[in-house]
Amino acid sequence: MTSHAFRMQLKPGVVDEYRRRHDEIWPELAEAISEAGIYDYSIFLDEQTLALFAVLKLRDDNNRDALPQREVMKRWWDYMAPLMEVEPGNRPKEWPLVPLFHLA
């Protein structure tokens, strides 16, 4: 098991909509994420900067790299693109976070 953390960026005025869409996450997307070996996935908001900080755990046998090819993932990115800074193809821009401390 490994942890992966990264930052994403919301656009101004969309926090409530971002939260609503995640509160209503599509069951087929949740299933695809789980099948990719991702679990215990949290996203935190810095209200001052609108930065999102995501932390997820990966099973040792994960296939997270295959997720971008899944049709449900592409549809989700298209759905979320108006709310976030994105790459071409609507994948959210991600900035990796470097682990500095962990207390287990």
Global pTM value: 0.92
- List helix spans (H) across the chain: 15-23, 27-35, 71-80
Q: Which helix (H) or strand (E) holds 40?
A: strand 38-46
Domain that holds residue 36: 2-96
**pLDDT tens readout for residues 33-64:** 999 999 999 999 999 999 999 999 999 999 99
CATH number, domain at 58?
Answer: 3.30.70.100
Tally of domains in the chain: 1
Q: Is 102 a catalytic residue?
A: no
- Cα angle for residues 1, 68, 37 (degrees, 5° grid): 20
The catalytic residue among 19, 20, 22, 93 is: 22
- Sheet of 2-9, strands arranged across: 38-46, 51-58, 2-9, 95-96
Given a contact cutoff of 8 angstroms between Cβ atoms, the answer to whether 36 and 69 are in contact is: no
